[in-house]
Amino acid sequence: MLFLCSLIPLFTVGVAAQDASTAATAATAARAACLATRQDLGPTKVKFSGTQYDDTTEAYWSFFNRGDEPTCIVYPSSASDVQAAMRHIFHSQSDYAVRAGGHSPMIGWNGINNGVLISFEDMTDVSYDASSDTITVQPGATAGSAEAAVESHGVSPVWGRADVIGTGLLLGGGISFQGPLYGWASDRIKELDVVLVTGELVTATATNEYSDLFRALRGGANRFGIVTRYELYAAHTGTRDDKLWYGGLIVYPGSSSTALLKATAHYVRDLTDPNAAAIMILNAYDTTSTTAHACYFFYKGTSLPASVFGEFLSIPSTSQNFSSYSFYDITFLIQGDNGPNGQQYGASAFIGDEATFINGYAKAVNFTQHFKEQLIRSEYTISPIPLSVWAASLSGPNSIGNPGVNYATVDFNLVFPDNEATRPPVLNAAFKLLLAQNPPSPGLPLYINECHQSQEVFASYRNYPALKAAYAKYDPTGFNVAHTRGPKGL
C-alpha cells in the first residue's frame, strides 16, 4: 500500500506535465493561425482581446460555456473570410470552434481554450425569394430574427421553439412546433454552402455531387464543415396578423404527474394529426416553487380538439392560458434569454409506453433528491416526434434515419445556481448513470441537440454507416475530430 501511494504523486506530476505540454503546443498552433488570419483579414476581423472579444465570450446561453478564452476570435463577414481562417487553422493544426447563436448546452462544442473561435455575429442576414419560395439565412441568425425578417411575406423558416435558438439547431435535425406539419428543420434545407476543413468552399444539395455531404450535415452537427449559407424551403404560416393556430400553456400541479405521463405516452403513441404540436416539461425539482409541470399545446385551427388533447384537458391543472396565435407569436412565446445559469442536458428517446415514461421521471426525481443542494431546477422534457415529421421531408433522407414509429425525445435538464461554474465530479458521474438507466427504446435515435457530450449519439442513427463514410471522405485526416470538440463516433 505504501508503495502504491508513493507512485501516485509521480503519476500525477507526469499527467500534469503532459497536459501542460499539450496546452503549450495547442497555444503555439493557435497563435500561428491567428496571426496568419489577421494578416489576411485585418485587425477588425481578428481580435485577441477587447470589448467585442469579451462580449462574445460572455454571450453564451449556458454559463458553463462562458469560461473559455480563445487565443483569438475571428469575426467573418463572408464565406471567403471563413475560408481564409480555416486554411490557416488547418495549416497550423490549430484547435478551433464555431459559435453561431451560442445556444448549445454541450460544454465545449462552440467554445475553445488555446484555439481559434469563429463567431458569426456579423453574419446575420435573412431574406425571402418569392420566385424560389426559399429563405436564405446566414449562420449568425436566430429563430426570432429570421421569423421577424420574413413574416410580412406570410412565410417562416421551420426552426426552434424559442426565439434565441441559432442555426446549430438545423444541423442537429431540429425539433419545431411546425415539425409534425412540415418535418424536421434540417429537412427543409434546399442547399448549403460549406467550408471544408481545408478551406475549400462547396455547395451541397440533395442531388449534386455533394449529396452525401448534404445528407450528413443534416444531423451531423459540427463535424462536417462550417456552413456559411442556408437556403431553406419556406413554410407558409401567414403573417403576424394571421391567427391560424390555437393553444398555449397549461400548468399542472405535482400531484398530476402520473396522469400527465400516462396522457403523454398515449399522445406520443397515437398521434396521427399533423396539425397538432406539443412539448411537456415536467419539473423533477424546483427551488423557487412547489413542483409544477408546464405543457404547451398548439393546433393549426380554432381550438384544441378533444380527440387529440382531451386527456390532457381533463387532468386537474392550476392554470390554463389559451389563445389564438400567429406563428410569429408562437416563436416568441417561450422565452430563451441568455442567463447566469449553467445548463446540463442528457438525451434519451422513448416509444409511447406508459411505464417507460413514468419510470424515467421517477429516476430523474430520485437523482435530483441526491443533488438538490447543487441545483436550482431539474426538468424532464418530452418532445413528441410523430411519423408525419419524416413524411413531410422536402430534402430527402437525413443522417438520423426514420425509425418507422411514433416516439418522443426525452431531455434530462439540470439548471445550476447563478454564476456557478463548477459541478461536483460525483454529480457528473451520477448524471451519466441516470442516462445509462434510461436508454432509448430499441431502434430509436438520440436527439443530438439535447445530448450530453459523453453520449454516443451517432451510433444510435439508422444511417450511421453512411455518416461515417461521408466523414472519411470529406475529412480524411480526421482533422475535425482531433481539433474541435463535438459528438463522438466518427
Q: For position 168, which CATH number holds?
A: 3.30.465.10
Are residues 49 and 97 both part of a single domain?
yes
- Amino acid 154 reads G
Buried b / exposed e over 439-455, threshold 16 CB at 10 Å, is ebbeebbbbbbbbbbeb
**Beta pairing class for 226-233 and 134-137:** antiparallel
Same domain, 25 and 133: no
Q: Give pLDDT, residue 179.
A: 96
Task: Give the pLDDT score at 343.
Answer: 93
Could you report the per-residue pLDDT of 429-456, keeping only the tens digit for each? 999 999 999 999 999 999 999 999 999 9
Q: Give the pLDDT of residue 473.
A: 98
- Under 8 Å between Cβ of 443 and 382: no
- Burial class for 244, CB neighbours closer than 10 Å (0-12, 13-18, 19+): middle
The answer on 382 and 259 residing in a single domain is: yes
Q: Phi and psi dihedrals of 245, rounded to 5?
A: -115, 155
**How confident is the model at residue 363, as a pLDDT?**
97
Statement to judge: residues 386 and 265 lie in one domain: yes
In this structure, which amino acid lies at residue 25?
T
* CA–CA gap between residue 308 and residue 292 (Å, rounded): 23
306-325 burial code (b ≥16 CB/10 A, e <16): eebbebbbebebeeeeeeeb
What domain range includes position 418?
Answer: 245-460
Q: How many domains does the chain have?
A: 3
pLDDT of residue 288: 67
**CATH number of the domain residue 26 falls in:** 3.30.43.10
Q: Is there a single domain that holds both residue 250 and residue 395?
A: yes
| Residue 7 included in any domain | yes
Indicate if 96 and 231 belong to the same structural domain: no
What cell was used for 235?
A: 413554410
Rounded CA gap, 90 and 135, in Å?
A: 31
For residue 391, how many C-alpha atoms fall within 13 Å in the half-sphere facing its CB? 12
Q: Please indicate, yes or no, whether residues 294 and 374 belong to a single structural domain of this protein.
A: yes
Residue 490 domain flag = no
Chain position carrying cell 386527456 = 311
Pair 221, 171: CB distance under 8 Å: yes
- Tell me whether residue 301 is in a domain: yes
Whether residues 93 and 151 share a domain: the answer is: no
C-alpha distance from residue 184 to each of 156, 173, 187, 400, 432 (Å): 14, 6, 5, 11, 28
| Ramachandran angles phi, psi of 21, nearest 5° | -65, -45
What span, in angstroms and rounded, lies between the C-alpha atoms of 378 and 412?
8
CA gap 399, 461 in Å, rounded = 7
Q: Are 398 and 187 in contact (CB under 8 A)?
A: yes
- Out of 102, 119, 136, a domain closes at 119
pLDDT at 412: 97
CATH number for 349: 3.40.462.20
C-alpha cell at 327: 406563428
pLDDT of residue 327: 96
Cα-based distances in Å from 321 to 26, 247, 248, 333: 53, 8, 6, 12
- Residue 323: how many CA atoms within 13 Å on its side-chain side? 10
Question: What are the residue ranges in the chain where pLDDT is below 50?
Answer: 1-18
The string of pLDDT tens digits covering residues 11-29 is 333 334 447 778 889 999 9
| Domain co-membership, 422 together with 387 | yes
In this prediction, what percent of the chain has a pLDDT beyond 90? 89
Nearest to 100 by CA among 128, 155, 61, 158: 61
Tell me, yes or no, whether 162 and 292 share the same domain.
Answer: no
Q: Which of 119, 152, 180 is the last residue of a domain?
A: 119
Q: What does the alpha-carbon distance between residue 183 and residue 269 come to, in Å, rounded to a whole number? A: 18
Strand pairing report for 116-119 and 72-74: parallel
For residue 415, is it within any domain? yes
Residues 251 and 372 in one domain: yes
Whether residue 365 is found in the same domain as residue 436: yes
For residue 68, being part of any structural domain is answered with yes
What size, in residues, is the chain?
490
Tens-digit pLDDT profile for residues 40-93: 999 999 999 999 999 999 999 999 999 899 999 999 999 999 999 999 999 999
The pLDDT assigned to 272 comes to 97
Does the residue 489 lie in any domain?
no
**Of 119, 146, 162, the domain-final residue:** 119
pTM beyond 0.85: yes
Contact 181, 391 (CB under 8 A): no
